[in-house]
Amino acid sequence: MTGRRVHIAALDGLRGLAVAAVLLYHAGQLRGGFLGVDLFFVLSGFLITGLLLGEAVERGRIGLASFWRRRARRLLPALTCVVVVSTAATWAWGTPAQLRFALDDMPWVGAQAVNWHYIAGQIGYWNASDTRVFAHLWSIGVEWQFYLAWPLVVAVTAPGRHGERIVALLAGSGALLSLALTVAFGAAVDTTRAYEGTDTRATALLLGALAATMPVRRLARRLPRGAADPVCLLLAGGLAVAWAVTEGERAPLLFEGGLFLHSLAAAALVVLLAEVPDTRAARITGTRLPRRLGDVSYSLYLWHWPVYLLLLPRLTGLGDRGGAAVAIGVSLVAAAVTKRLVEDPVRFRSGWARGRRGPVAVAALALTGVTLCVTVPAPVPGAGTVDISQLR
């Protein structure tokens, strides 16, 4: 089952398209671009579950400690860097309200639970007037919580003759349960609980996980090659239309199955691109520009929102699109530098991060963040708020 580990260019391209949608949404240029986060979730569920199942087949067991160490090396260095630098930048150039909220959110970001912090405080994602430089990290919290819980399930159920079928059954059942919770919580006036809850957003992650199981992969392989291309193009077109027309929580069906259908279409597209890689859709998605965006998508996602909040108010003279273009360009540069100097060296233990130097440097940077959180005086509540809706 080593095929599970093969690098698939089209999936990198999908990741790039997803982050582009989110960037355009937050810049006010794509109404439904927030749905790119769901595509991220589907891809994460698919790739992580594929790796776990491949290890279970090859070794007869899953090394959970090794898995979590790899995830930490992959995700924590860039996250730590962005959080510390963003807090310092907010202290230097942000409004008092932005700094106060950054200091308030920072411990929750460190605990990978900022989504539940926002839910408990009823801090609405859609229309909150208080600007928070870490508002976008709710999704990182959801992914981390999934990475903690789901591998335990796979480690227990995957080894054995019918392990993948059991994993598929659990993933599918979990996705349906998550859908039911989304519908229930989405009926509330404040939809933060439905939108940011780990249990409700698990729909996309679990549909991605379901797509990674062998029963679904075999089903995808049975699709005639001549039919795979139009199906992929139809699915991709459906996602594009959803990104273009969906208006956040005002979309009447978003929490009544809309998010589920979007994630289901994304999961079908992902598994077809993975299992039928020679389609025209796979070649287009795997072209250079989407792949390059996909390569830096994690750091780009981390950087873009703090850059938007701190930079866009200073670019009003350029107009909406001109300011957005500059902010996106700055985010791209920051992401490329972070990937080259922070992400990759620590992840691959190369360059300056050989041996234990990488983890030590990340720990030192995290300590710097803790020091900032403790020593920087919090501004008086109510000072210097900015309407976040003006930045979308």
Q: Which residues of 331-349 are buried (b: 16+ CB within 10 A; e: fewer)?
A: bbebbbebbeebbbbbbee
What's the pLDDT score for residue 124?
77
Angle at which helix 163-186 crosses helix 259-275, to 10 degrees, equals: 150
What's the pLDDT score for residue 326?
96
Helix and strand totals (H; E) in the chain: 18, 0
Name the nearest CA neighbour of 24 among 391, 319, 388, 315: 391
Question: CB of 175 within 8 A of CB of 196?
Answer: no
Three-state SS for 141? helix
Concatenating the DSSP letter of every residue in 143-170 gives HHHHHHHHHHHHHHHSSSTTHHHHHHHH
What's the pLDDT score for residue 249?
78
What's the pLDDT score for residue 387?
47
- The whole domain housing 12 covers 2-75+96-295
Answer whether residue 219 is part of any domain.
Answer: yes
Question: CB of 282 within 8 A of CB of 273?
Answer: yes
H/E segment holding residue 368? helix 357-375
CB atoms near residue 288 (< 10 Å): 10
Answer whether residue 322 is part of any domain.
Answer: no
What's the pLDDT score for residue 5?
54
What's the pLDDT score for residue 4?
52
Answer whether residue 348 is part of any domain.
Answer: no
What's the pLDDT score for residue 384?
46
In angstroms, the CA 238 to CA 124 distance is 28
pLDDT tens track of the chain, all 392 residues? 334 556 789 999 999 999 999 999 999 999 999 999 999 999 999 999 999 999 998 998 999 999 999 999 999 999 999 999 999 999 999 999 999 999 999 999 999 999 999 999 888 777 655 579 999 999 999 999 999 999 999 999 998 888 899 999 999 999 999 999 999 999 988 889 999 999 999 999 999 999 999 999 999 999 988 899 999 999 999 999 999 999 887 787 999 999 999 999 999 999 999 998 788 889 999 999 999 999 999 999 999 999 999 999 999 899 889 999 999 999 999 999 999 999 999 999 999 999 889 999 999 999 999 999 999 988 876 544 444 444 54
Answer whether residue 115 is part of any domain.
Answer: yes
In angstroms, the CA 110 to CA 141 distance is 9
In angstroms, the CA 210 to CA 164 distance is 10
- Return the structure tokens found at 28: 């006010």
Three-state SS for 345? helix
Answer whether residue 138 is part of any domain.
Answer: yes
What's the pLDDT score for residue 6?
64
What's the pLDDT score for residue 278?
82
Contacts of 369 (CB under 8 A, 6+ apart): 80, 83, 84, 87, 106, 110
Question: CB of 373 within 8 A of CB of 106?
Answer: yes
> For 8-59, how does the pLDDT look when each residue is reduced to its tens digit (9 = 90+)?
899 999 999 999 999 999 999 999 999 999 999 999 999 999 999 999 989 9
What's the pLDDT score for residue 1?
38
Question: Tokens 């995830």 map to which residue?
Answer: 71
Which stretches does DSSP call E strand in the chain? none
Q: How many domains does the chain have?
A: 1
Mean residue pLDDT across the chain: 91
What's the pLDDT score for residue 68?
96
Answer whether residue 310 is part of any domain.
Answer: no
In angstroms, the CA 87 to CA 372 distance is 8
What's the pLDDT score for residue 2?
39
> For 75-132, how does the pLDDT look when each residue is reduced to its tens digit (9 = 90+)?
999 999 999 999 999 999 999 999 999 999 999 999 999 999 999 988 877 765 557 9
- Contacts from 332-337 at CB under 8 Å and sequence distance 24+? 332/296, 332/300, 334/299, 334/303, 334/307, 335/296, 335/299, 335/300, 335/302, 335/303, 336/296, 336/299
What's the pLDDT score for residue 189?
84
Answer whether residue 385 is part of any domain.
Answer: no
Answer whether residue 55 is part of any domain.
Answer: yes
